[in-house]
Structures are given as C-alpha cells and as structure tokens.
Amino acid sequence: LAGFRLTTGLVVLAVCESPHQRLRILYAKVLDVLEQIPKNAAYRKYTEQSTNEKLAMVKAELDVKKLEGQLQGGQIEELTLQAERELSLGRKMMQWKPWEALVEEPPANQWKWPLSSSLNDFSELVEN
C-alpha cells in the first residue's frame, strides 16, 4: 500500500483511485473538442500544445508524486479538476465561437481613457 492515501487533505476533493487513466481520458476529450475549433484560433493553439505536453507526461511518468511535480498544478486530484474545467471551457468555447468576426464594429474610442468630455459629468451616468 505504498503511496496509498485515504484523503487529499482538501475539502470536497476525494482521492482519485486511478489518476493516470482519468487524466488520459480527460486530456483526450479536451483534444477531441479542440479539433473542432479552427486551427488558427489562439485558444486551440495554446490549449492543444499545453494539453499534449501534459498528456505526454501522464503517459511517461507512472509515479504520481513525480507526475505532480512535473505538471506543477498541485495534487493529482487538483490536476484532474483542472482538466475537467478545461474540458468544460472548451465545450463553452465551441458555443461562444470567439474566433468568429464581430457582429458589429466596436466604437472607435472604446479603449480610450479618460472618457469623452461629454461623459465627464458623472451625473449623466447616474439614472434618476
């Protein structure tokens, strides 16, 4: 029973009994979702690279403690939670499609500060 833990020491985060298998499955699912996103989308490029690196580490390192050190994301259960959240985000990105063109052009001065002189009177911003 060397290396067996009864608890993570983290509230509401149970010990993962088969972390390598769980992470391989999650990372594969993330990569499947990313394949549906255009190749030139920044989210796909960077997430795909990161996920492939993590998946390679999971396949190469059998020792959980060493793997935790290599992945630098906390305990293996935290890494699993992060992978689940990445999968969820990837699915949301598929719905949001942030890589598509804007529906309308943004205002020319949307990123300028201070606001235009007509808005300097804060009473105009407050509804009565």
pLDDT tens digits along 4-40: 567 777 766 778 889 999 999 999 999 999 999 999 9
pLDDT in tens, 99-123: 999 989 988 888 888 766 555 555 5
Signed CA dihedral, 59, 60, 65, 70: sign only: negative
Q: State the DSSP code for 61.
A: -
Spatial CA neighbour of 54 closest among 14, 102, 18, 20: 20
For 70-93, what is each residue's pLDDT tens digit?
999 999 999 999 999 999 999 999
Residues in the chain: 128
Whole-prediction pTM value?
0.78
